[in-house]
């Protein structure tokens, strides 16, 4: 197993820092007054957790009007309406480094493309991945520290396991994984350094294109093979489309899954009674996973663009307005959940928006849930009497865009 450690490479640290890690620990109290308005004018510095006079490198007046969508009702209205609110804004920045992906597509293109891509996420494939790929990867990582009686669950398990899984799904050699992971983080650090992101994008293309050609000639059971031969009403995926999806899958799948599983373990470890309950009764696992996603979604915000003059929750929006859709704020809406800021796996199960909503609802959400279930079950099965390390600093979750704990130090045995 090639293990990727959280602190081994600067791109990971730089990306987390740019996303507010270490700057913003708990943004939820600031979301409450915004949520009461439903939708409100936004300041880009505040969105990044910066001071009012911080240098952005550009004049905020040069960009379209910016609004934050915060209440559950408003978030649902925006995400479910792909006509008034377009995803095409992602093309300007992310499109330059990822290529033309499902992230930036509107209908009808989005539906046709999604119909092709989702063929790689069949129920049969998911069942095979769980037993043949995810379980063994988690076990190998645990094997490396199980005799120590202590571990940092983030750097030693929860950070490396999803990227190992995605690489396995794509059928990529394990030896290539550290470089492959570095490229993907450099790719999504486009807001920090465009030149590095563009170089990483080209490197990923050059690396992946030979794999695509090989799978067209000699398909296997991996995801690239499925995509290379997928067909929907006579439409097939081009090399560029497959590579664009692979560029998106790594950061989308690996980044968010490591963060969501880390956030869930933080919730459980800081609530020992709930930890003990799930450990003793695994039928509670699904609701624990959903509560973790609601309580601390790995990605707080996504973007949409108003295609016309319109209004949301009584607030008028000009055509071209950029909307920061705050799924984290929506998931803490006290009109929908009692004591919404608290982690409580026993609360009535009500749909959250951690995976977004509407046409662009996360394509990999079932994979993410399965990976988290396997990882947490293996932790409970193999690390008896798991608890926070009393000699370590208490864990905390940080970040303003992507959120997760930097460390999660535990003892067991």
Whole-number average pLDDT of the chain: 90
Nearest one of 167, 253, 172 to 214, comparing CA atoms: 172
**Secondary element (H or E) of residue 66:** strand 66-69
Query: Could you tell me if residue 261 is inside a domain?
Result: yes
Nearest one of 26, 74, 29, 46 to 330, comparing CA atoms: 74
- The tokens of 272 are what? 């020992």
Query: Could you tell me if residue 132 is inside a domain?
Result: yes
Q: Output the pLDDT for position 6.
A: 38
3-class secondary-structure state, position 299 = strand
Question: What's the CA gap between 284 and 83, in Å, rounded?
Answer: 39
Question: What's the CA gap between 253 and 169, in Å, rounded?
Answer: 11
Query: Could you tell me if residue 2 is inside a domain?
Result: no
> 50-59, 186-195, 316-325, 377-386: lowest mean pLDDT where?
50-59
Please write the tens of the pLDDT for every residue from 35-66.
999 999 987 766 665 666 777 666 666 678 99
Question: What's the CA gap between 118 and 113, in Å, rounded?
Answer: 9
Q: What CA–CA distances, in Å, run from 32 to 40, 357, 404? A: 12, 21, 21
> 303-342: buried (b, 16+ CB within 10 Å) or exposed (e) per residue?
bbbbbeebebeeeebeeebbbbbbbbbbbbbeebbeebee
Q: What CA–CA distances, in Å, run from 350 to 200, 287, 314, 335? A: 40, 10, 25, 12
Query: Could you tell me if residue 114 is inside a domain?
Result: yes
Q: Identify the DSSP state of 304.
A: E
Question: What's the CA gap between 224 and 214, in Å, rounded?
Answer: 10
Query: Could you tell me if residue 1 is inside a domain?
Result: no
Residue matched to tokens 């465009």: 194
* Residue range of the domain that includes 305: 10-54+61-411
pLDDT of residue 158 exceeding 80: yes
> 14-28, 132-146, 346-360: lowest mean pLDDT where?
14-28
* Cis peptide bond upstream of 108, omega within 30: yes
Question: What's the CA gap between 122 and 166, in Å, rounded?
Answer: 15
Nearest one of 360, 359, 336 to 348, comparing CA atoms: 336
Query: Could you tell me if residue 3 is inside a domain?
Result: no
The residue with greater pLDDT, 123 or 140, is: 140
Residue 302's pLDDT band (boundaries 50, 70, 90)?
very high
Query: Could you tell me if residue 81 is inside a domain?
Result: yes
Q: Output the pLDDT for position 46.
A: 67
| % of the chain exceeding 70 in pLDDT | 90
Q: Is the CB of residue 293 less than 8 Å from the CB of residue 347? A: no
Q: Could you tell me the pTM of the whole model?
A: 0.90
Please write the tens of the pLDDT for every residue from 171-186.
998 888 888 888 888 8
Question: What's the CA gap between 221 and 246, in Å, rounded?
Answer: 16
The residue with greater pLDDT, 194 or 17, is: 194
> 23-57: buried (b, 16+ CB within 10 Å) or exposed (e) per residue?
ebeebbeebeebbebbbbebeeebbbbbeeeeeee
Q: Is the CB of residue 404 less than 8 Å from the CB of residue 259? A: yes
Query: Could you tell me if residue 83 is inside a domain?
Result: yes
Q: In sequence order, which residues have a C-beta less than 8 Å from that of residue 83 and are 6 or more positions away? A: 107, 307
- Tell me the CA end-to-end span of the chain in Å, nearest whole number: 24
Residue 4's pLDDT band (boundaries 50, 70, 90)?
very low
Question: What's the CA gap between 227 and 211, in Å, rounded?
Answer: 12
The number of folded domains in the chain is 1
Look up the CATH number of the domain holding residue 161: 1.10.630.10
Q: Output the pLDDT for position 60.
A: 64
Residue matched to tokens 């009497």: 385
Q: Is the CB of residue 266 less than 8 Å from the CB of residue 408? A: yes
Q: Output the pLDDT for position 97.
A: 87
Residue 408's pLDDT band (boundaries 50, 70, 90)?
very high
Q: Is the CB of residue 328 less than 8 Å from the CB of residue 66? A: no
């Amino acid at each position: 197993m090639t293990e990727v450690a959280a602190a081994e490479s600067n791109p990971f640290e730089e990306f987390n820092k740019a996303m507010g890690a270490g700057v913003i620990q708990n943004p939820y109290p600031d979301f409450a007054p915004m949520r009461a308005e439903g939708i409100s004018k936004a300041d880009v510095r505040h969105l990044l957790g910066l001071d009012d006079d911080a240098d952005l490198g550009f004049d905020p007046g040069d960009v379209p009007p910016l609004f934050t969508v915060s209440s559950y009702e408003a978030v649902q209205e925006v995400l479910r309406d792909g006509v008034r609110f377009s995803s095409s804004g992602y093309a300007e920045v992310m499109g330059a480094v990822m290529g033309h992906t499902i992230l930036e597509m509107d209908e009808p293109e989005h539906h046709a493309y999604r119909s092709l891509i989702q063929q790689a996420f069949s129920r049969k494939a998911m069942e095979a991945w769980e037993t043949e790929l995810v379980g063994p990867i988690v076990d190998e990582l645990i094997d490396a520290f199980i005799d120590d009686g202590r571990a940092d669950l983030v750097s030693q398990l929860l950070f490396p396991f999803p990227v190992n899984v995605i690489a396995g799904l794509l059928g990529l050699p394990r030896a290539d994984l550290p470089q492959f992971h570095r490229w993907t983080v450099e790719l999504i650090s486009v807001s920090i350094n465009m030149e590095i992101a563009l170089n990483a994008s080209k490197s990923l293309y050059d690396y992946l294109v030979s794999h695509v050609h090989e799978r067209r000639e000699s398909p296997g059971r991996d995801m690239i093979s499925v995509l290379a031969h997928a067909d929907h009403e006579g439409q097939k995926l081009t090399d560029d489309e497959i590579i664009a999806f692979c560029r998106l899958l790594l950061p989308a799948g690996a980044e968010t899954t490591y963060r969501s599983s880390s956030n869930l373990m933080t919730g459980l470890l800081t609530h020992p009674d709930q930890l003990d309950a799930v450990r003793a009764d695994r039928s509670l696992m699904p609701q624990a996973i959903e509560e973790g996603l609601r309580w601390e979604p790995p990605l707080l915000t996504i973007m949409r663009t108003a295609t016309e003059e319109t209004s949301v929750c009584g607030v008028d929006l000009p055509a071209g307005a950029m909307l920061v859709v705050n799924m984290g704020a929506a998931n803490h809406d006290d009109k929908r959940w009692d004591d919404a800021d608290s982690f409580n796996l026993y609360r009535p199960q009500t749909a959250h928006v951690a995976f977004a909503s509407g046409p662009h609802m996360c394509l990999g959400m079932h994979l993410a849930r399965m990976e988290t279930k396997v990882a947490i079950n293996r932790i409970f099965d193999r690390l008896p009497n798991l608890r926070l390390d009393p000699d370590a600093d208490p864990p905390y979750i940080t970040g303003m865009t992507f959120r997760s704990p930097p460390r999660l130090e535990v003892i067991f045995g």
